[in-house]
């Protein structure tokens, strides 16, 4: 919950909250260890314990419960935006404040890439995109064609890989969640689709244009229908 931002309303840095959580978990484990040890010894010497306890105070024989003050958190650095997104995506596969592709938008603009939302106003033709793979589908009925749902901070678009493109590009598509796509925009009424010609890992392409490193927690969200792919 801390890593996903659910406790940000406490107005305490996440690293400080994680430090405090470590303190609580450590105290709980120590207490559990004492309780388990007491239970084992009690089972083997119940009668002798009752006999000895007749001459003791009620507290005698109980483990001491020493409540030590928590260790103050050191001066911890603030999370960077990339670290914050990494934690959020690793914990719940999304972030309530920001979609990960927005980190790469300045570099994508320098590459000539457009947003998914802008595709509804464009005519058919060459297009460049960057996005997070949400699902990959390889239906039995598609005769080797693969479909991607690619998400950016403005919406979703369908990307089609014909069998020859899938043969060339499947290594990249399988290994990477953040993709840079070059292809052809197709339109049928209000439905748009991008037929991929080339796909590369987005962080590697964007790096040359000032883009950030890939947030470590970001991974593909789904593999729908991919069992068939070889």
Query: pLDDT for 97-144, tens place per residue?
Result: 889 999 999 999 999 999 999 999 999 999 999 999 999 998 877 788
Q: What pLDDT sits at residue 74?
A: 76
Structure-model confidence comparison of residues 49 and 214, the more confident one = 214
Q: What pLDDT sits at residue 219?
A: 76
pTM, full prediction: 0.71
Per domain, the residue ranges of the chain are 8-78, 100-207
Q: What pLDDT sits at residue 51?
A: 44
Structure-model confidence comparison of residues 64 and 110, the more confident one = 110
Q: What pLDDT sits at residue 79?
A: 80
Arithmetic mean of pLDDT, 185-197: 92
Structure-model confidence comparison of residues 107 and 81, the more confident one = 107
Q: What CA–CA distance (Å, rounded) separates 103 from 26?
A: 36
pLDDT at 63 over 70: no
Q: What pLDDT sits at residue 53?
A: 46
Q: What pLDDT sits at residue 69?
A: 62
pLDDT at 83 over 90: no
Q: What CA–CA distance (Å, rounded) separates 72 from 58?
A: 35
Lowest mean pLDDT among 17-21, 23-27, 37-41: 37-41
- Do 109 and 49 meet the contact criterion of CB atoms below 8 Å apart? no
Structure-model confidence comparison of residues 166 and 73, the more confident one = 166
Q: What CA–CA distance (Å, rounded) separates 89 from 140?
A: 31
pLDDT at 31 over 70: no
Q: What CA–CA distance (Å, rounded) separates 107 from 197?
A: 21
pLDDT at 77 over 50: yes
pLDDT at 70 over 80: no
Lowest mean pLDDT among 75-84, 121-130, 156-165, 184-193: 75-84
pLDDT at 89 over 90: no
Q: What pLDDT sits at residue 226?
A: 42
What average pLDDT does the chain have? 80
The stretches of 117-201 forming alpha helices (DSSP H) are: 163-175
* Sequence-separated (6 or more) residues with CB below 8 Å from residue 116: 129, 131, 150, 151, 152, 154, 155, 156, 157
Pick the CATH number of 100-207 from 3.90.1200.10, 3.60.21.10, 2.40.50.140, 3.90.550.10: 2.40.50.140
Lowest mean pLDDT among 54-58, 59-63, 91-95, 147-151: 54-58
The stretches of 6-156 forming alpha helices (DSSP H) are: 14-44, 46-53, 81-92, 105-111
């Amino acid at each position: 919950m801390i890593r996903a931002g659910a406790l940000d309303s406490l107005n305490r840095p996440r690293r400080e909250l994680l430090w405090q959580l470590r303190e609580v978990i450590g105290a709980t484990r120590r207490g559990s260890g004492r309780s388990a040890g007491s239970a084992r010894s009690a089972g083997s010497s119940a009668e002798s314990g009752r006999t000895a306890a007749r001459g003791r105070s009620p507290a005698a024989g109980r483990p001491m419960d020493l409540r030590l003050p928590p260790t103050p958190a050191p001066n911890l650095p603030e999370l960077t935006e990339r670290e914050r997104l990494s934690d959020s995506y690793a914990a719940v596969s999304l972030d309530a404040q920001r979609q990960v592709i927005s980190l790469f938008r300045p570099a994508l603009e320098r590459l000539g890439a457009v947003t998914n939302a802008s595709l509804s106003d464009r005519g058919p033709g060459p297009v460049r995109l960057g996005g997070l793979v949400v699902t990959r589908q390889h239906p039995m009925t598609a005769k080797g064609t693969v479909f991607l749902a690619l998400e950016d901070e403005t919406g979703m678009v369908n990307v089609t890989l014909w069998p020859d493109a899938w043969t060339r590009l499947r290594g990249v598509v399988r290994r990477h969640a953040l993709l840079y796509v070059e292809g052809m925009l197709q339109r049928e009424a209000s439905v748009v689709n991008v037929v991929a010609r080339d796909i590369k890992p987005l962080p590697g392409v964007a790096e040359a244009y000032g883009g950030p490193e890939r947030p470590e927690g970001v991974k593909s969200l789904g593999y729908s229908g991919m069992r068939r792919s070889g």
